[in-house]
A and B are shown apart, each in its own frame.
Chain A
Amino acid sequence: MSNLVTLKDVVKRYQRGKQAVEVLHGVNLQIEQGEFLALMGPSGSGKTTLLNLIAGLDHPTEGEVTVAGERIDTLSGGQLAKWRARHIGFVFQFYNLLPVLSAARNVEVPLLLTKLSSGQRKQNVKAALELVGLADRATHKPNELSGGQQQRVSIARALVADPTLLVCDEPTGDLDRENAEEILKLLQALNSQHGKTVIMVTHDPLAADHASRILHVDKGRLTDSPTRTAA
């Protein structure tokens, strides 16, 4: 399989007041197309920063980030926004749905940036909601859905524009074990049955067990050599 993501000598420093804090120290990483990668590590280890760099939410201070053959560390803010719309689907820990919109309207948001007609958008939204098993909840607002259902809507939103890469930041962090398991199985199915490349940040070893590869991040470094698990 070919490399979808390549990080070369990536350094990330933040300015906190007068102090420059280095969060990532020369990270090198390759992720193959179709992988389900779990990034684990304690709080403040730099795993979310690493995810943000791969997802084009932030620029590295040094080094190169290449995703789907494109150097994204050199793109401007506007170019990155367009790139994210085309390539990345996001799943957040706290779902981050727009509370004033119905489930269907929430899922439709990424499609507003495409040239699809209203009818085509509706079809895609329906398909995405069916994929996550929530077609019957299309008109419900987020506050009318359970945590697990909200995360499913969030996954449908992440999938609807058919992104190259699905990035999930603690997707089960706000869910009970039962709901967490369902979400993880859904991500696993998207990876194995639909060929989606998934990168997931998690604290939870049980969640990480669903990935095809687990990497540990500690103090801004990948601490152990990449290990593959039997997914």
Chain B
Amino acid sequence: MKYATLIWAGLWRKKARTILTMLSILIAFLLFGLLQGINQGIKSGLSDTRNNRLWSVNHMSAVSSMAVSDMTRMQTVKGVRKVAHMSFFGGYFQDAKNAIPAFATNIDNFAAVYPELRITPAQLAAMDTTRDGALIGRPLAEKYAWKVGDKIPLGTSIWTKKEGGNSWEFNIVGIYDATPDFSRGPLGSGFWINYDYWDEARLYDPHRVHQFIIQIDDPSKAAAISAAIDKLFENSTEETKTQPENAALQARLKQLADINFIANSIVGAVMFTLLFLTANTMMQSVRERIPELAVLKTLGFSGRRVSALVIAESLLLCLFAALAGLVLSMGAIKVIGSVFGPGRLPEAVFVEGLLIAVALAIVSGLPPALRAQRLNIVDALAER
């Protein structure tokens, strides 16, 4: 610690350069925290081994419908506890820009399959007695200032009513508060309507659904049960594709973008560039201080001690800025990370970030440190 003043003073010898370098490192680690945080968040969310849900869709594509009666056959497979289904309504409120994540479902089963939504028995009873009822998530209600009792008209470009027109009106009978993790996700902001009411009222594709969600007893048997369900519909006109919810989500996400590849590529490129930037700063800083380092050696500082001071300075520069960047990313990820991940920076990413900062400091500090160590005092004092 007694060298702290010496190291700190050396770091701030050129204030503007140090601040700019620190800002570069800070922004790089902010980006690292955001990208890796979201990436790891998705990964850890999708690798939850406790998840006991399977998703089953039409083998042709996720938007092709299947007979609702398939649910009864799925229920017969050993290990299946409960089956829910959902169909995409594709609604919007007032303007097509205000898309509403509305789905038709058998709400009793759906609430059982997704206990994380914390739908109450009273809300289920209200849905049961109100055919055109809708249950909505708290974030959605807050966004549009909707409350229980409101009648909400939703437009849709997909579903025409038998009586004509594409405007549907739903009566809000309940607002549910999902668990914090779910509340930030799409299901936490859902707009759930009664399948039976919607199925009777729509003009075409009756008695069909887009997806089944199957709750099973034992998550470790997910693969076997998925295969058994698909076997049921093998060689039929509507073969199914069943897989654990995590795998299905991952596959859908990959259709949008390979987050892992993108995150790693960007972070890799940024860190590589940062290495040169920091190394250049350290080299320049040491080059300017050759006579000062020679004086330290003259006064009795050994080559190793002088090089340790340079490495310590590099560590201070990188760790200080990286820590600030990671702390900022923790805040930022709370805001934007909720769309993709768990809304918090995983500890592993934080630790990984600090380890990268240490490696960056050592690699970029090593060449100037070696130069300082090998410095010939007589030549340096004579400025040769």
Contact = CB atoms under 8 A, between A and B. Distances in A.
A231 interface: no
Chief secondary structure at chain A's binding surface: helix
Interface stretch (A31-39, A75-83, A204-212): A75-83
B304 interface: yes
Interface stretch (B3-11, B318-326, B333-341): B3-11
Contacts of A112: 2-3, 6
Interface residues of B, number: 24
Contacts of B304: 78
Nearest to B300: A85
Given A84-B300, A85-B300, A100-B10, A58 B378 contact: yes
A82 B302 contact: yes
Contacts of A105: 5, 9
B299 A90 contact: yes
B213 to A, nearest CB: 65
A110 interface: yes
Nearest to A49: B378
Chief secondary structure at chain B's binding surface: helix
The listed residue with most B CB atoms (<10 A of its CB), out of A90, A92, A100, A109, is A100
A109 B298 contact: no
Contacts of A90: 298-299
B5 A81 contact: no
Contact of B297 (A81, A92, A99, A100): A81
B9 A101 contact: yes
Nearest to B298: A90
A136 to B, nearest CB: 21
Contacts of B5: 101, 105
Interface in B214-253: none
Interface string A96-115: 10111100010001101100
A14 to B, nearest CB: 9
Contacts, number: 65
A121 B1 CA distance: 14
A99 B291 CA distance: 11
Contacts of B13: 99-100
Contact of A98 (B2, B3, B292): B292
A88 B295 CA distance: 13
A52 interface: yes
A81 B295 contact: no
A67 B164 CA distance: 109
B303 A81 contact: yes
A19 interface: no
A96 B303 contact: no
A86 interface: yes
A118 interface: yes
Interface of B: 2-3, 5-6, 9-10, 12-13, 291-292, 295-305, 377-378, 381
25 contacts: A52-B378, A57-B377, A57-B378, A58-B377, A77-B302, A77-B303, A81-B297, A81-B300, A81-B301, A82-B302, A86-B300, A92-B295, A96-B292, A98-B6, A98-B295, A100-B10, A100-B13, A101-B6, A105-B5, A105-B9, A112-B3, A112-B6, A113-B299, A121-B2, A157-B299
Given A78-B304, A112-B6, 17 more contacts: A57-B377, A58-B378, A78-B302, A81-B301, A81-B305, A84-B298, A84-B299, A84-B300, A92-B295, A98-B292, A100-B9, A100-B10, A100-B13, A101-B6, A105-B5, A110-B300, A121-B2
